[in-house]
C-alpha cells in the first residue's frame, strides 16, 4: 500500500523558497497569486502490517522536524 | 594531563580535518577520529566535536540523518553526563536535529549560500567555550552555509536570552536568524552549537586568530594549563 506524508512549514515560519517561487511565478506574467509556501511529499510503499501509530512515529521522529514543520499522512487506496 | 577529544566524521563531513587540526594545535594532543557508524566513543573523553560539512548530502533536512546515526546515540548519552560537545555549522544543525539544542536551522533568508567573514558579538563569557573572550567583544569568524537561519518560537528565544544561552550574535545581517543568533548553549552549558567556523581562524596563516580563544578556553577549563 502507498502512503503519502505531506510535509509543510508551520504558519509563521518564514519560507524564503516559497517567496522565490512566488517571484518567479510573477515573472511568468501570471498575477493574482497571493502567497506560495513550499513543502515536500514523501511517498512510502508499506506492508499492511505497518500501523497508523508507526506511520505517526516515522513522521514525527524523522520525516519532519516538528519545531518548524507540520505533517499530514494519507493512505492511498489502491 | 592530556586533553582527550574526539571529532566525529559523518559521510559528507568536510571540516573534520580542520577541527581535528585546531584541537591538536591548541591542546597538543591529537583527537580521536570517530566514524558515524561506530557504536561507542573512546573512554574518558574531555571534549566531543561535530564538524561542518554536508552530512548525508543534507538529505531530508540538514543534519537530520546524522542526528539519527549510531554514534549520535553515544554523543547524546555523553552530553547528558556533562561531556562538552561543540557543533559547528553542520554540527550545529545535527545538535538541533538530535534535540540537544532548541530550535532549527532553516534556509538562509536570502536563499543564497553565504561564504564570508562575519562580525560576531560574544554575548556570554561565562561558558566553558567562551570564557577566553571579553564581554561584548567583537570577533571576526568565517561562515559558509546555506541553512543557517536560526528559528525558534518567541517563548524559546526569550528563555534562551533570559538564561544567557545566546553565546554569539551576528553583528551584521547574515542569514535572517531570529534575533541575529549565531550560537546557542544548552541549559547545562556543556553543549554549544554555532554556525561560524572558529576552527578556520586559529593561526595567523589563516588570516585571523579570533577562533583560537574558543579552543583555548575549553582546554584550559577542562585540563588546566
Q: Answer whether 0.80 is exceeded by the pTM.
A: yes
> What's the pLDDT tens digit per position in B167-203?
999 999 999 999 999 999 999 999 999 999 999 999 9
Q: For chain B, which residues make up each domain, given as ranges?
A: 5-223
Closest residue of chain B to A41, computed from CA coordinates: B60
CA distance B116 to B181: 17
Report ipTM (2 d.p.): 0.86
Gyration radius of chain A over CA positions = 16
Buried-exposed string A11-32: b where 16+ CB fall within 10 A, e elsewhere: eebbbbbebeebeeeeeeeeee
Instruction: Report whether pLDDT(A46) > 70.
Output: yes
CA distance A29 to A6: 29
> A16 vs B104: CB contact, 8 Å cut-off?
no
B206 is catalytic: no
Q: Does A16 touch chain B (CB under 8 A)?
A: yes
Q: Which domains does chain A have, with CATH numbers?
A: 2-76 (3.30.1280.10)
N-terminal to C-terminal alpha carbon distance within chain B:
9
> A14 vs B106: CB contact, 8 Å cut-off?
yes
Confidence band of A78 (pLDDT split at 50, 70, 90): confident
CATH code of B5-223, in short, is 3.40.50.880
Sequence-separated (6 or more) residues with CB below 8 Å from residue A1: A45, A46, A47, A48, A75, A76, A78
Instruction: Report whether pLDDT(B225) > 70.
Output: no
Q: What percent of chain A has pLDDT over 90?
A: 90
In the three-class reduction of DSSP (H, G, I as helix; E, B as strand; rest coil), residue B144 is classed as strand
Instruction: Report whether pLDDT(A77) > 90.
Output: no
- CB < 8 Å to A62, chain B: 60, 64, 68
> What's the pLDDT tens digit per position in B130-165?
999 999 999 999 999 999 999 999 999 999 999 999
CA distance B166 to B124: 7
Closest residue of chain B to A20, computed from CA coordinates: B111
Instruction: Report whether pLDDT(B1) > 80.
Output: no
- State how far residue B122 is from chain A, nearest Cα, in angstroms: 26
> B176 vs A65: CB contact, 8 Å cut-off?
no
Sequence-separated (6 or more) residues with CB below 8 Å from residue B63: B55, B90, B92, B93, B94, B95, B96, B97, B98, B105
B216 is catalytic: no
Closest residue of chain B to A12, computed from CA coordinates: B153
Amino acid at each position: 500500500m502507498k502512503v503519502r506524508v505531506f510535509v509543510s512549514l508551520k504558519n509563521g515560519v518564514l519560507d524564503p523558497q516559497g517567496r522565490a517561487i512566488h517571484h518567479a511565478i510573477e515573472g511568468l506574467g501570471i498575477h493574482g497569486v497571493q502567497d506560495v509556501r513550499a513543502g515536500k511529499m514523501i511517498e512510502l510503499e508499506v506492508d499492511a502490517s505497518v500501523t497508523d501509530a508507526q506511520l505517526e512515529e516515522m513522521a514525527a521522529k524523522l520525516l519532519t522536524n516538528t519545531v518548524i514543520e507540520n505533517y499530514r499522512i494519507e493512505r492511498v487506496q489502491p | 594531563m592530556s586533553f582527550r577529544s574526539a571529532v566525529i566524521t559523518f559521510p559528507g563531513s568536510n571540516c573534520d580535518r580542520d577541527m581535528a587540526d585546531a584541537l591538536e594545535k591548541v591542546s597538543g594532543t591529537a583527537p580521536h577520529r570517530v566514524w558515524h557508524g561506530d557504536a561507542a566513543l573512546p573512554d574518558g573523553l574531555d571534549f566531543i566535536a561535530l564538524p561542518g560539512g554536508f552530512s548525508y548530502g543534507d538529505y531530508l533536512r540538514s543534519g537530520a540523518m546524522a542526528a539519527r546515526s549510531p554514534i549520535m546515540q553515544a554523543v547524546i548519552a555523553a552530553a547528558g553526563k556533562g561531556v562538552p560537545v561543540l557543533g559547528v555549522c553542520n554540527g550545529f544543525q545535527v545538535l538541533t536535529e538530535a534535540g540537544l539544542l532548541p530550535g532549527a536551522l532553516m534556509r538562509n533568508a536570502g536563499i543564497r549560500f553565504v561564504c564570508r567573514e562575519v562580525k560576531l558579538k560574544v554575548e556570554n563569557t561565562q561558558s566553558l567555550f567562551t570564557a577566553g573572550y571579553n564581554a561584548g567583544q567583537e570577533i571576526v569568524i568565517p561562515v559558509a552555509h546555506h541553512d543557517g537561519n536560526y528559528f525558534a518560537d518567541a517563548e524559546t528565544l526569550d528563555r534562551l536570552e533570559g538564561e544567557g544561552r545566546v553565546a554569539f550574535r551576528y553583528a551584521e545581517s547574515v542569514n535572517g536568524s531570529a534575533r541575529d543568533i549565531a550560537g546557542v548553549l544548552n541549559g547545562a552549558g556543556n553543549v554549544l552549537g554555532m554556525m561560524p567556523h572558529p576552527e578556520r581562524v586559529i593561526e595567523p596563516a589563516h588570516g585571523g586568530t579570533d577562533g583560537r580563544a574558543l579552543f583555548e578556553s575549553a582546554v584550559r577549563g577542562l585540563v588546566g594549563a
